[in-house]
Amino acid sequence: MVFNPDLLNGEPEDTQVNQLLKYIQHQPPEVLARVAKSVTPEIKQIISQNVQGLVGMLPSENFQVQITTDRENLAGLLASAMMTGYFLRQIEQRMELEETLTGSSTLPKKSSGSEKSTD
C-alpha cells in the first residue's frame, strides 16, 4: 500500500475545518509512507474482499465487469474501505498486544457459565 501525499493538498469542499486532515497535511511524507507500509497482507485481503462485496464483484475469468458510479457513491465506497482498514488495524494491534501479554497465539476461551464451581 502506498500513500500519495498530493491527495491532501487540495482545499476541502466544505467550510468546516477538519483537524485530522490538517494534522495529516503537516506530517512529513516519510511518516505517511511508513504508516502506509505497515498495513499487513491480511488487512489488505479483508479490505479487498469487503470492496468486492460492496460492488458485487463477479468472477473476472468469466465476465468483463465495468462499474459506473457517481462521485458521492465512490466517496462512500472509499470511506467504507478506509474505515474498515482503520478498524482492522486497531483489532490487529489489540490481538498482537494480547498475544504479547499472554505469550500465546490463541485467544482465551470464554466460560460457558454452565461449569460448576467446586469451592
* 51 located within any domain: yes
Grid coordinates in use for 90? 486497531
- How many domains is the chain built from? 2
22-62 residue pLDDT tens: 888 888 888 888 877 877 888 888 888 888 887 776 666 77
Q: Is 32 in the same domain as 51?
A: no
pTM of the model: 0.47
Q: Is 46 in the same domain as 79?
A: yes
**pLDDT value at residue 110:** 57
* 49 located within any domain: yes
* 17 located within any domain: yes
6-21 residue pLDDT tens: 555 655 555 467 887 7
Coarse DSSP helix, strand, coil percentages of the chain, rounded to the nearest 5 percent: 55, 0, 45
Q: Is 50 in the same domain as 73?
A: yes
Q: Show contacts of 94-102: CB within 8 Å, 24+ apart.
A: none
**pLDDT value at residue 19:** 80
Q: Is 53 in the same domain as 30?
A: no
State the CB neighbour count (10 A cutoff) for residue 3. 18
DSSP reduced 3-state for 51: helix
88-109 residue pLDDT tens: 888 888 888 888 998 865 555 5
Q: Is 7 in the same domain as 33?
A: yes
Q: Could you tell me the residue range of the domain that residue 1 belongs to?
A: 1-38
* 78 located within any domain: yes
* 115 located within any domain: no
* 109 located within any domain: no
Q: Is 20 in the same domain as 62?
A: no
